[in-house]
Amino acid sequence: MSELAIELKGIDKSFGLVHANRNINLKVRKGTIHGIIGENGAGKSTLMSILYGFYQADYGDIIIDGKTIKIRDPNAAIAAGIGMVHQHFMLVENFTVLENIMLGAEESQILNAGITKARAELKRLEKEYALEVDPDAVIEELPVGIQQRVEILKALYRKADILILDEPTGVLTPAEADHLFRILRQLKDEGKTVLLITHKLREIMAITDEVSVMRRGEMVATRTTKDTSVEELAELMVGRRVLLRVEKGEAKPADVKLSVKNLTVRDGRGVTMVDDVSFDIRAGEIVGIAGVAGNGQSELLEAISGIRRAKSGTVLLSGREIDVTGNADPADLRRRGLAHVPEDRHHVGLVLKFEESENAILGYHDDPKYRRGMLLDVDAIRADAEAKIAAYDIRPPNPRLKTANFSGGNQQKIVLAREMERNPDVLIIGQPTRGVDVGAIEFIHKRIIEMRDQGKAVLLVSVELDEIRALSDRILVMFAGRVVGERTPDATEGELGLLMAGVEGRKEAAE
């Protein structure tokens, strides 16, 4: 029996002119948690997709438990004991948890017998790994943290001994991430092998035994985690020293650019998600909103940007009212100087089937500089896209490439470049660095600070508390749809955590 769960030898993969993986060699020991890190577009997801059978390597060998095998599709990977939890979940949203668990792994031609057996096995797995979930719940009604549990249960149900997780904490709250890590440690203790792809270096340091670093399609280093540091890993990823802290001067607030008064927003079920919220943002300052996901931050941004209708309240943009309770027009708000980087780049920020150059002007396509008479000026659009690609280091630098073929972090840069380069008066940003690597985070943070220093008013929502504290000049904390406190950036994590849990907020409201 080999001591290695996985060995990759000379894996090479190209997509046309893009050389995604270059002669990759990797060894992963059994019963360990092995991290794989790298910049966006470094080839991490491509390598894991080859291991899971989505892609076929042009050259190279895959060795599982000492045996060289061909993995021609995900079914072959599953048969080899490999399971994968994707960054964007592969679940049928209108199916139940149990139906998703069984899908493709039905063991009985008599459906009822198969369902009974699957339900019993699911109950055992839930108990063994503390992955409690209602088997009859419909996926689309579950929060993302529970949906991720379903993906892990799917892999365990299929007897996976090797589990690949691609950016597993990108959509989780801190408490959910801690619970996930407890599960991964338990899997490791039972002899299973975990491959963890993440951009979050502190998570790598906290959970992994070994970590391999990829850069521009090549494997450049493997380290024992306890013998390395965040600083060394960041430098290996990017190829230069990376500033891991945000440097900014004092804010110089000027006139109020965005004023929100008594805003109340309900969701599609009629549940109040934003409850009588008021605040102002001035030119030349960043106001961050901290809170556990699901406490009204998303609905707040959607109402201000004209995507969602508010029940009541007023919003003033540079002194002029936005019709938030009627028919606010996002296109009109863009013309009036409001730019919006949405939290969900896939469903709101981009059209993945469009080329990069088309997404680079999305929402601004009626600008005369992109038109030639009644038609779009394709040459002007592509030239504009090339300038943004260079300025924001978007990889690969190809404006003709379909946006779906860019990594998540480079997709985020496409959205940021489109909105920031319009020179808005007010910039509202949701989750600016979700799924983004450490080098790109450094770049994005610098650009946000530059926008502030140019006199822009910035409203920032992030589930990353470190990010909120590093970038914000003032911090508002939301809990259950209300602003329960305001703090300065030097507030402690514990103090903000209590507000986010609604503990200190209730005391302040009572006083």
Q: Report the CATH number at residue 31.
A: 3.40.50.300
Residue 112 lies in a domain: yes
- For the question of whether the overall pTM of this predicted structure is more than 0.85, the answer is no
CA-CA distances (angstroms) from residue 152 to 83, 141, 437? 8, 18, 24
Same domain, yes or no: 225 and 274: no
Mean model confidence pLDDT for the chain: 89
Residue 249 in domain: no
Q: Which of 209, 238, 267 is the last residue of a domain?
A: 238
Query: Taking the C-alpha atoms of 410, 388, 441 and 405 in order, what is their torsion angle to the nearest 10 degrees?
Result: 0
Q: 306 and 444 share a domain?
A: yes
Residues 16 and 79 both lie in one domain: yes
Q: Is residue 388 situated within a structural domain?
A: no
The reply to whether 114 and 80 lie within a common domain is: yes
Residue 450 in any domain: the answer is: yes
- Same domain for 210 and 320, yes or no, is no
On whether both 282 and 228 belong to a single domain, the answer is no
- The reply to whether 269 and 171 lie within a common domain is no
Query: Same domain, yes or no, for 83 and 197?
Result: yes
Asked if omega into 396 is within 30° of 0 (cis), the reply is yes
Sheet holding 426-430, edge to edge: 338-341, 426-430, 457-461, 285-290, 474-479, 482-487
How far is it, in rounded angstroms, from Cα 360 to Cα 416?
9
Q: For the chain, give me the number of helices (H) and strands (E)?
A: 17, 22
Domain membership of residue 481 as a residue range: 256-337+424-510
The reply to whether 333 and 261 lie within a common domain is yes
pLDDT grade for 109, boundaries at 50, 70 and 90: very low
Domain shared by 180 and 274, yes or no? no
pLDDT(108) > 50: no
Domain finish residue from 183, 210, 238 = 238
99 and 162 in a single domain? The answer is yes
Q: Are residues 107 and 79 in the same domain?
A: yes
User: Is the dihedral angle over the CA atoms 363, 366, 367, 373 positive or is it negative?
Assistant: positive
Q: Using an 8 Å Cβ cutoff, are 155 and 74 in contact? A: no
- Name the DSSP class of 228: -
Of 23-32, 95-104, 436-445, 456-465, the one with minimum mean pLDDT is: 436-445
**Could you tell me which residue, 394 or 108, shows the higher pLDDT?**
394
- Band (pLDDT 50/70/90 cuts) for residue 406 is confident
User: Looking at the 3D structure of the chain, how many domains does it have?
Assistant: 2
Please report whether residue 37 resides in a domain. Answer: yes
pLDDT in tens, 372-385: 988 999 999 999 99
Is residue 377 in a domain? no
pLDDT at 104 over 80: no
Which tokens belong to 300? 């707040």
> In this structure, is residue 356 part of a structural domain?
no
459 and 428 Cβ atoms separated by less than 8 Å: yes
Residue 110 pLDDT grade (very low, low, confident, very high; cuts 50, 70, 90): very low
Between β-strands 210-215 and 218-224, what pairing exists: parallel, antiparallel or unpaired?
antiparallel
The tokens of 507 are what? 């005391």
- Nearest-angstrom CA–CA distance, 218 and 194: 21
**What is the arithmetic mean of pLDDT over 279-284?**
98
Measured between alpha carbons, how far is residue 262 from residues 81, 329, 499 in Å? 55, 20, 20
pLDDT at position 14 is 93
